[in-house]
Amino acid sequence: MSKEKVTFYLPTRKGSERVINKNTKPFAGIEGGLVENKIRQLLETRLVDEIIFSSNDDICISVAEKYKDSRLKIIERPTELCLSSTNLQDLICYVPTITDADHILWGHVTTPLCGAEQYDDAIRLYLDKLNDGIDSLVGVTELRNFLLDKDGKLINNNTDVLWPRTQDLEPLYPINHTMFLAKRSVYLEQKNRIGRNPLLYIMDEVHSFDIDWPTDFIIAEIMYENLYKNK
C-alpha cells in the first residue's frame, strides 16, 4: 500500500440557513455537536495523516481547539470562500493551496454516522486500486427504484419487461456527501474533487445519512444513539 500522505479536508462556515447552529448545537449528548463528533471520529482513523479544519466560524473553531493533536490543523478560511453564494469550484481550487498532501479526502460534519471505520476502509480500497487506473473515490448509495423522466417515461429499465423486479433495474448512484477522495493532481489540473476515473464507494443508507433539514437532525440523533450508544 502507498505511503503517500492523505489529508482530510473538513469545512464548516457561519450561517446555517436550514438548521440554526447546525454544526455546534448539542448532538446526541455531544456538547460540541457535529463538529466535535466528526473531529473525534477523524482522530480515531489510522490512515488519515493530516486533518485540516477549515472555517470562518469562531464557535466551530473553539470546539476544534479543544483537541490537541499533531494531525489536526485549524485554518481560518477567507470570508469570500464562506458565503452561501461562493462558487464550489473556487473552494475546490483553494484546498490544495493549504496542504501538500498527495491525496485529499473531503468530508462534512453533517454525515455524523460515517466514522473512522468507513474512512479507513475507503482510503485502503482507494490506495489499493490506484494501480488499476482510478484517480478518485466518491461515497455513494445504490438506488434501485422506478424513476421517471419529465415525460413520465421510465429511465432506468434496461430489460424487455414492462415492469421488471426492482433488483433488475439499472442501478443509479446518488452521491451521499460522506467523502470525496482524490489525487492532489485532480484538484490542480482538473479543478475538481472527483476525477475522470472515480471508484464508487457504495455505502448503506445508515452510515451515509446526511443532515440537511431540521427533521434530519432529529433522525440522525436517534440513529446515532442506537448505532453507537445503545450497544
Q: Which pLDDT value is given to residue 75?
A: 97
The whole-number average pLDDT for the span 178-201 is 97
Say what the pTM is. 0.93
Q: Which pLDDT value is given to residue 89?
A: 94
On whether the CB atoms of residues 51 and 73 are closer than 8 A, the answer is yes
Distance CA(85)–CA(79), nearest Å, equals 11
> In CATH, which of 3.10.50.40, 3.90.1150.10, 3.90.550.10, 3.90.850.10 is domain 6-139+175-229?
3.90.550.10
Query: With bands split at pLDDT 50, 70 and 90, how would you rate the model's confidence at 64?
Result: very high
On whether the CB atoms of residues 27 and 37 are closer than 8 A, the answer is yes
Q: Which pLDDT value is given to residue 168?
A: 87
On whether the CB atoms of residues 82 and 13 are closer than 8 A, the answer is yes
Query: With bands split at pLDDT 50, 70 and 90, how would you rate the model's confidence at 157?
Result: confident
Task: Return the percentage of the chain with pLDDT > 70, whole number.
Answer: 98
User: Residue ranges per domain, the chain?
Assistant: 6-139+175-229
Q: What does pLDDT average to over the chain? A: 94
Question: Strand, helix or coil at 188?
Answer: helix
On whether the CB atoms of residues 205 and 141 are closer than 8 A, the answer is yes
33-63 burial: b if 16+ Cβ within 10 Å, else e: bbbbbbbebbeebebbbbbbbbbbbebbbeb
**Tens of pLDDT, residues 87-98:** 999 999 999 999
Q: Which pLDDT value is given to residue 1?
A: 42
Res 52 pLDDT > 70: yes
Res 85 pLDDT > 80: yes
On whether the CB atoms of residues 181 and 5 are closer than 8 A, the answer is no
Q: Which pLDDT value is given to residue 231?
A: 55
Q: Give, in order, the Cα–Cα distances in Å from 12 to each of 102, 116, 123, 147.
A: 23, 19, 22, 33
